[in-house]
Amino acid sequence: MKIVSLITARGGSKGIPNKNILEINDIPLIEYTITSSKKSNVNETWVSTDCENVSTISNNAGANIIDRPSELSNDIIMPDAALVHFAENVDFDILVFIQPTSPLLSHHYINRGLTMMGKYDSVFSAYKEHWLPRWDLDGTPIDWDINNRPRRQDVKDVFVENGAFYITTKKQLLKTKLRYSGNVGICEMPLSESYQLDSIDDLNILMKLL
């Protein structure tokens, strides 16, 4: 049973330029997830990228590199297409898809997710969220009535994908072209370790947590 991880890291980023190699505490962002992957029970750690700088930094951190075709590298294409490209070119049985924007990810959660694969076809990481009143940008309550506001304890908690990692089999990935499918399990992570780097606010939070 060959287990590999794949970290997808394009060179471009509209929100934060060169986000995937941005240094946080003198360490490139992508190196955090490469390190976590290498500490986990995966057999090989790979990075899919279209960027020479990302490739060099990732290789120096101990990752294998697969060059991502330009048609799979724009900001419209979902990462799932890069996963399928990887599956068509690399031998493995189980894939751990890791997003480089999750530097707080510990290898312990990756290992926990892998142990769940005996029961599920796919697994993803998430944190548990208590109900809070949410409003859309037009000022309309989302799924609750302002005249009959529920108590937090009367509303069921939900799981929120934190985007840290997704695990699936090569067979499922090539069949569905999706990062998760079939009987899907949830690997819970705490909110405090679920922050992703997508904005300047996220960066300010992560710099204090790392």
- Residue 152 counted as domain residue: no
37: left (phi over 0), alpha (psi -120 to 50) or beta: alpha
Residues in CB range of 11: below 8 A, 6 or more apart: 18, 20, 49, 50, 51, 52, 53, 54, 73
Between 22 and 77, where is the model more confident? 22
Between 41 and 70, where is the model more confident? 41
CATH number for the domain harbouring residue 203: 3.90.550.10
3-state secondary structure of 27: strand
Question: What's the pLDDT score for residue 20?
Answer: 93
Q: Compute the mean pLDDT over every residue in the chain, rounded to the nearest whole number.
A: 93
Question: What's the pLDDT score for residue 76?
Answer: 58
pLDDT tens readout for residues 52-70: 999 999 999 999 999 988 7
- Residue 7 counted as domain residue: yes
Residue 73: which domain range? 3-126+161-209
- Residue 201 counted as domain residue: yes
Q: Which one of 149, 151, 152, 179 is the catalytic residue?
A: 149
Residues in CB range of 188: below 8 A, 6 or more apart: 125, 126, 127, 128, 159
- Residue 155 counted as domain residue: no
- Residue 131 counted as domain residue: no
Task: Give the Cα-Cα-Cα angle 144, 148, 154 (nearest 5 degrees).
Answer: 70
- Residue 144 counted as domain residue: no
- Residue 56 counted as domain residue: yes
pLDDT tens readout for residues 108-130: 999 999 999 999 999 999 999 99
pLDDT tens readout for residues 161-205: 999 999 999 999 999 999 999 999 999 999 999 999 988 888 888
pLDDT tens readout for residues 4-17: 999 999 876 767 88
Amino acid at 111: N
| DSSP classification of residue 192 | G
Say whether 149 is catalytic. yes
- Residue 197 counted as domain residue: yes
**What is the pLDDT averaged over residues 67-84?**
79
Question: What's the pLDDT score for residue 117?
Answer: 97
Question: What's the pLDDT score for residue 210?
Answer: 84
Number of compact structural domains in the chain: 1
Q: How far apart are CA 22 and CA 194, in angstroms?
A: 19
